[in-house]
């Protein structure tokens, strides 16, 4: 199984692994690449799945990345498991830095002049959260729904983030696509060669065993004939 562990992690250990893997990011990256290389599919389909997963991994889709990666992989006819693995290209340590870069880039592309300071970002999240909670309660009361904080968050934070992440995410995902193909091809060729070598060794072993069995049978037949003839068995 691709995602199964021999010893399941507790939720605290899982959370720690999400923030910083116990073996480091380099080992975690090599593990994901190893899993992608072992997928039983054509290299180009795996690469298309990696492209879809990488691209979705850069976009602000909290809670929807797996679903979006599945849909994107179906759209480009890529490997679904490769797409799901590709979403792990981001982590809680690097995501904040990329988010700030994406929002800044998006503000520049869209010509938005709203300030993008830590206070402004926190304020936009805070007002959006207040509006969400207020509107949820308004469903069960006579209160009027508020949308100002949510509109501000959408205009100043989410849309710039999405647009600013889409372009660099597409470029990086395209690079990952072209890098994945030769890696998977080399791995599959090496694995096929190893498999053929094992088959060849098994064939030689079976031939050796069969030859030894034939020799023993032939020796036994000669012994039986010698015994019936009253003579000594031939050496």
Q: pLDDT tens for the chain, 235 residues: list them.
A: 444 555 665 555 544 554 445 555 455 555 555 565 566 678 889 899 999 999 999 999 888 888 999 999 999 998 888 888 888 877 777 788 888 899 999 999 999 888 888 888 888 899 999 999 999 988 998 888 989 999 999 999 999 999 999 999 999 999 999 998 888 888 878 777 777 777 777 887 887 877 777 777 767 666 666 666 655 554 4
Give me the torsion for CA of 184, 185, 191, 192, rounded to 10°.
Answer: 150
Among the listed residues 108, 152, 112, the one whose alpha carbon sits nearest the alpha carbon of residue 131? 152
With beta carbons less than 8 A apart as the criterion, state whether 104 and 168 touch.
no
Measured CA to CA in angstroms, residue 222 lies from 131, 184, 219 at distances of: 97, 56, 5
Give me the torsion for CA of 72, 73, 78, 81, rounded to 10°.
Answer: 150
Among the listed residues 150, 159, 57, 53, the one whose alpha carbon sits nearest the alpha carbon of residue 107? 159
Query: What is the value of pTM for the model shown?
Result: 0.67
* 128 burial level (CB within 10 Å; 0-12, 13-18, 19+): buried
With beta carbons less than 8 A apart as the criterion, state whether 165 and 60 touch.
yes
Q: How far apart are CA 102 and CA 158, in angstroms?
A: 10
């Amino acid at each position: 199984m691709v995602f199964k562990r021999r010893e399941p992690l507790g939720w605290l250990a899982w959370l720690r692994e999400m923030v910083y893997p116990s073996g480091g990011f380099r080992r975690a990256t090599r593990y994901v690449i190893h899993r992608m290389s072992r997928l039983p599919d054509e290299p180009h389909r795996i690469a298309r799945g990696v492209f879809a997963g990488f691209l979705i991994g850069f976009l602000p889709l909290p809670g929807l990345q797996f679903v979006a990666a599945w849909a994107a992989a179906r759209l480009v006819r890529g490997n679904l498991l490769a797409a799901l693995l590709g979403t792990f290209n981001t982590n809680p340590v690097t995501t904040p830095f990329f988010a700030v870069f994406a929002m800044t880039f998006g503000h520049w592309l869209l010509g938005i002049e709203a300030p993008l300071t830590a206070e402004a970002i926190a304020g936009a999240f805070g007002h959006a959260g207040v509006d969400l909670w207020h509107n949820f309660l308004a469903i069960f009361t006579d209160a009027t729904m508020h949308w100002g904080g949510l509109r501000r968050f959408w205009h100043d934070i989410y849309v710039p983030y999405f647009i600013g992440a889409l372009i660099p995410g597409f470029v990086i995902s395209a690079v990952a696509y072209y890098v994945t193909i030769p890696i998977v091809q080399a791995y599959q060729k090496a694995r096929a060669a190893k498999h053929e070598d094992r088959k060849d060794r098994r064939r030689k072993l079976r031939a050796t065993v069969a030859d030894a069995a034939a020799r023993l049978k032939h020796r036994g037949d000669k012994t039986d004939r010698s015994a019936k003839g009253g003579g000594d068995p031939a050496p």
